[in-house]
Amino acid sequence: MLPWFKNWNKDNPTDIYGPAILVGVLGVAVIVAAFVVVVGQPFATKSLQTGPRGTGMVQTEFVSEIENEDPTLAAYYTEEPYVPEDGDRLASEVYENVQVLGNVTEDNFNRIMLAMTQWVSPEQGCAYCHVGAADGNYANDELYTMKVARRMIQMTQNLNEGWAGHVNANQEVGVNCYTCHRGENVPSDIWFRITPVNEAAEGWAAVQNRVTMQSQYTSLPSDALETYLLEDEPIGVHDFASHVDSDPTDPNTATWQDAERTYSLMNYVSNSLGVNCTFCHNTRAFYDGTQVTPQWATESLGIAMVKEMNQDYLVPLEGEYPENRLGPVYGDAPKAACKTCHKGYQQPLQGLNVIADWPELATTSGEYSYE
């Protein structure tokens, strides 16, 4: 090497690391960008505008969560009904002791029984409700499950007919046994009365500050479900002004305890549907019913619907259940709430129409449309 070049290179050193790092960073960025284009953005979101823009009334979810299929969908069983023909015999004419669905044709009755088996007792089969199934005797209703099943059919018919404003709020979806059971004898996310949860305390302190399913594992009150979804107490919060001249013993006066209990219920609803407050409310004015979203009305119907389910159908069955199916504290009947059906999704089974093939479960009239 020429002496002058060696001296010049020594006096003018070249930084080769900076450009190398820059080229490396740019190369990695190009690779990441190409990966996102080809595979997809793992943190991409979709937004549902639930109110006026600029008010924060938007529901944002990860696309990966929206498109993640409910795992219980794969096990759903359905079958198209048989269109009745002249001369078809009714179930009540063929079988003994048919107390519900007796005016359904024999083929459709058997079709429903098969579906209920798949929805509720896929492992036990017909013997789960029929003690004489192995001998072909289906009339014996000695098992409590058969008596409960009759009432659950009636409840399902009532939900589809009387509460369409909730279950079919966006389009026909309906409910059937699988909506809650998902292939299990006992639906998940049922609840029992458990308060007081703090036996060492009296009064308000006795219903909170303990991790329970009812409080969504927070320190909030654990009696919100029984207060609002069973006892039918009014949902409300305390006054916004201080030193209000009111009597806290007046049942029409909302106290700060009512506010905490209401927040406990709302927290439960949010977790049940996998949404946040803006799904139903304008968070700058929770108290103003004129600023809520359409979903608020749907949820209000849902709360009223669950009250009726518990009061008219589920609680009255307490005497039919064996001890192992009753509550651990009070021996009360299992009860339903939002999560029993929704299980973390805005719509149960992600909006699958579960009543399309089951017109017999859609009405209490006894007249079914097979068109």
Binding positions for heme: 113, 126, 129-130, 152, 166, 177, 180-181, 266, 277, 280-281, 338, 341-342
Q: How far apart are CA 181 and CA 350, in angstroms?
A: 15
Task: Give the DSSP letter string of 80-101.
Answer: PPPPP-TTPPBHHHHSSS--SS
Per the annotation, binding residues are 113, 126, 129-130, 152, 166, 177, 180-181, 266, 277, 280-281, 338, 341-342
Tokens of 363: 């009405």
Q: How far apart are CA 16 and CA 271, in angstroms?
A: 55
With residues binned 3-state (H G I as helix, E B as strand, rest as coil), the percentages for the chain, rounded to 5, are 45, 5, 50
Tokens of 342: 């929704």
- Dmax over Cα atoms in the chain, in whole Å? 115
Residue type for 272, please?
S
Task: List the beta bridge partners of residue 46.
Answer: 61
Q: Which of 369, 295, 280, 317 is nearest to 153 (CA)?
A: 317
Residues 268 and 213 sit within 8 Å (Cβ to Cβ) = no
User: What distances in angstroms separate CA 311 from CA 227, 307, 315, 336, 344, one per listed residue?
Assistant: 12, 6, 6, 10, 24
Task: List the beta bridge partners of residue 191.
Answer: 335
Q: Calculate Rg over the CA atoms of the chain.
A: 29
Residues 220 and 167 sit within 8 Å (Cβ to Cβ) = no
Q: How many Cα atoms are found within 13 Å in the side-chain-facing hemisphere of 306?
A: 26
Task: List the beta bridge partners of residue 49.
Answer: 58
Task: List the beta bridge partners of residue 335.
Answer: 191
Q: Which residues contact 359 (CB under 8 A, 6 or more apart)?
A: 81, 368, 369, 370
Q: How far apart are CA 352 and CA 342, in angstroms?
A: 12
